[in-house]
Chains A and B, each alone.
Chain A
Amino acid sequence: MSAGAGGSGAVAVEVSGVSKWFGDTVALSDVSFALRPGVTGLLGHNGAGKSTVLSLLAGWARPSQGRVRVLGADPHGDLAVHRRLGVVPDGEGTWGYLTARQNVALLARQRGVRDPRAAAGAALERVGLSHAADRRVGGFSKGMRQRVKLAQALAHEPEVLLLDEPLNGLDPVQRRADVDLVRSLGAEGRTVLVSSHVLGEVERMADEVLVVVNGRLVAEGEPAGIRDLMTDRPRTVRLAGREVAALAGSLLAEGLVTSVRHDAAARPEAEGEAVVVETPAALALAARLPVVAAERGATLRRVEPVGDDLESVFAHLTAAARGVGR
């Protein structure tokens, strides 16, 4: 059903045939994967089931069916495993009336750390918040609170880390720093699962990617492979410029597009004539389009995907998963 994600080494996280439903709503359906040390990205659109996967691994919920193991233990029933597991939840997740140091030390103490204050100081330094350690978190920006959550997850030096959208609310500089931090955590031999709905983010952090769509695991592999899978798929493309109808005819003849129609909403005075084409192979079209345009003497002013939202990307992956057995 699934290969292991992450680097080499022993399996740290194992999810076998897991389904989770809430009343009539199926949040996860027959999901299986295994994680080894290294950073693994969990990619999916909002509502795809990423947070459900993480909540099952964190022990916040029990699977309706199947089995979850973290470091060989059931995270819901075995409390001891939480000394070796760190979690950054989505949403708030901090006590605003406590200082950053108190926030981190409080959880470190509950996870069995002998010197929670020292551990909190080290964790806050690692996430770059030493300067604000003794300020109340209630006055922090969203980005700073996100870092407090990271420090909470790191203070007890866990072997497994679950990070739910850890880059949310961060500015570009903070994002870059946190991407480096996540990568370094993986390089230290920890098993890190980091969720996001942005492929670009996951690519920069993870060695392996799991893609979840509508509660199903539809793809997994290296980020580059996932990007190719997402890019080279049937797409609708709008072409505008001079002689684009003739150009589209040539593309049709070459089999690079399967249908051509005039774009009724075109603005000829601004962009020339416009057509909308359907292509089964976007990468091949991208490669051949300039060549064929030059051959036909066409001038392209605009080449743009139509309806190219994340939903359509994931819908394609779902269909692809059904076709090739993932």
Chain B
Amino acid sequence: MSLFEAALRGVLLRGRTAAFALLPVVVAVVVLVVVVVTSVPGRYGAVGTVTAQLLVGLVVPVVALVLGTGAFGDERDGGTLSLLRSTSRPRWHLVGAKFGASWLSTWLVCLPASAACAVYAASVNQPLGAVLGGIVLATALGSGAYCGLFVLLSLLTRRALLAGLAYVVLWEGFLAGLSPGLRGLSIGSYARRVAQLALPDDVQVGVVSTLGVPAAVAVLVGVATLSWVLGGVRLQRMDV
């Protein structure tokens, strides 16, 4: 069994994961009900709120927070972090396995909500290719950047869940909207920029980066990669 496979099992078999997997399911059900009971013009006005803000701005970061911080948090709590350190495997391999497992898990857990949002966006006459491409790219890159950050946080502090929650709620939910400078430090603003690929040009999507989509993609990939590298350095240097 590879470390990635073990890490994936660890994430997916946790009770906490099952509990938080309900969030995207509930969101998916609500979104699909809205699609059924409202008219196209009525849905059109809220398509940005549903796709960019609810899915990319709330569901993805919350699921990534729980699964990402648990990646090493659970190892620390269970006394197995020291065992991982007692191996000859380069530390960036270990962090990569944990990061990859939490990233894939987050994307999978968010899949019901992503699918429902794709249905919603397609129902307002958006091209299906753009809808699928935009949502898949935004959720994949957004969850990658969030998971990278939260895995790193779990190596930096025992209170990673609290610190991550403060970032998602206070920074992304409130402070990032106050000025363009603060927006630049919001993962959500770049993920929403990518999500705009799936949306009509004239809908509101909340706080969004002013960069172009390629630059937003590069930032999200950069955050994930940098967090991974720093996680490897941290795992090597920290006392366990």
Q: How large is the interface on A (under 10, 10 to 19, 20 to 34, 35 or more residues)?
A: 20 to 34
Cβ A92 vs Cβ B89 within 8 A = no
B80 and A97 contact, CB distance less than 8 A: no
In whole angstroms, how far apart are the Cα atoms of A277 and B222 in the complex?
Answer: 75
Asked if A142 is at the interface of the complex by the 8 Å CB criterion, the answer is no
Report the bound CA distance from A266 to B232 in whole Å. Answer: 65
Known: A62-B239, A97-B13. A92 touches B78 (CB 8 A): yes
Interface of B is mostly: loop
Which of A94-125 touch B at CB < 8 Å?
A: 94-98, 102, 105-107, 109-112
Across the interface, name the chain A residue whose C-beta is closest to B10: A97
Q: Is the CB of B88 within 8 A of A79?
A: yes
Note all chain B residues with C-beta closer than 8 A to A93.
Answer: 78-80, 82-83
CB atoms of B6 and A89 under 8 A apart: no
Does A55 touch B at the CB level, under 8 Å?
Answer: yes
Tell me which of B1, B80, B85 contacts A105 (CB under 8 A). Answer: B1
Tell me, rounded to whole Å, the shortest Cβ–Cβ distance linking B78 to chain A: 5
Contact yes or no, B86 A59, CB < 8 A? yes
A60, A62, A80: most-surrounded residue (chain B CB, <10 A): A60
Q: Is A193 an interface residue (CB 8 A)?
A: no
Q: A107-B87, A110-B89, A111-B88 are in contact. Are A60 and B10 (CB under 8 A)?
A: no
B5 to chain A, nearest CB (A): 9
Report chain B residues within 8 Å CB of A90: 79
A85: B residues at CB distance < 8 A: 86
Tell me, yes or no, whether B185 is within 8 Å of chain A by CB.
Answer: no
Residues of B within 8 A of A92 (CB): 78-80
Closest A-B pairs by Cβ, 6 of them: A110-B87, A92-B79, A61-B239, A91-B79, A82-B88, A110-B89
Interface residues of B (CB under 8 A from A): 1-3, 6, 9-10, 13, 78-80, 82-90, 239-240
